Amino acid sequence: MGHYGMPYVDNAFRCGRDTVSELADQGIKSIFIDLHAEASSEKRAMMMLLQGQVSGIMGTHTHVGTDDLQISKGTAYLTDIGLSGCRDNVIGMDQKVPIERFLTGVAGRFEVPEKCKRILQVAVMTLEDGKCVQAQKFKIFDDGRTLITDAWMEE
């Protein structure tokens, strides 16, 4: 879990670095990280720290899918996969409570709407010997549309 705007747990960068090192020492080659963080800079910094050492790093939390799927040194990276669920409201929740919270500062319980337009977002990676060689992001809408984005390769 990232630091900015999130409950403090432990240092994600030290934990990530140390855990990846321990897994590599055990001979584990396919390592995937889901970095749950608010700040895109934290997600990007984790990629810079661990690129070439892990198969993939995908960010979560903001509910807004980014368009930066890439493969660098055998590591697939995406700042945020984006929400799967209701897409026609505020981060998948009924709009009433989030709007009220922004207007007044008073917190409330977020609720999933009974009816909504839906989306499924997923990334698919092809690994060879623990390194990502191909990746795609799929956005599948409930109206039948599917958008597929290929990762770009960095040298």
Structural domains of the chain, with CATH: 12-154 (3.60.21.10)
Average pLDDT of the segment spanning 30-41: 92
- The 10 Å Cβ neighbour count of residue 123 is 19
Residue-wise pLDDT for 41-67, tens only, equals 999 999 999 999 999 999 998 888 899
Tell me how far apart the alpha carbons of residues 97 and 104 are, in angstroms, rounded to a whole number.
10
- pTM of structure: 0.88
Tell me how far apart the alpha carbons of residues 92 and 95 are, in angstroms, rounded to a whole number.
9
Tell me how far apart the alpha carbons of residues 78 and 55 are, in angstroms, rounded to a whole number.
12
Beta-carbon contacts of 34 under 8 Å, excluding residues fewer than 6 positions away, are 58, 59, 60
Residue-wise pLDDT for 67-119, tens only, equals 999 999 999 999 999 988 888 888 888 899 999 999 999 989 988 888 999 99
| pLDDT band at 145; cut points 50, 70, 90 | very high
pLDDT (0 to 100) of residue 8: 80
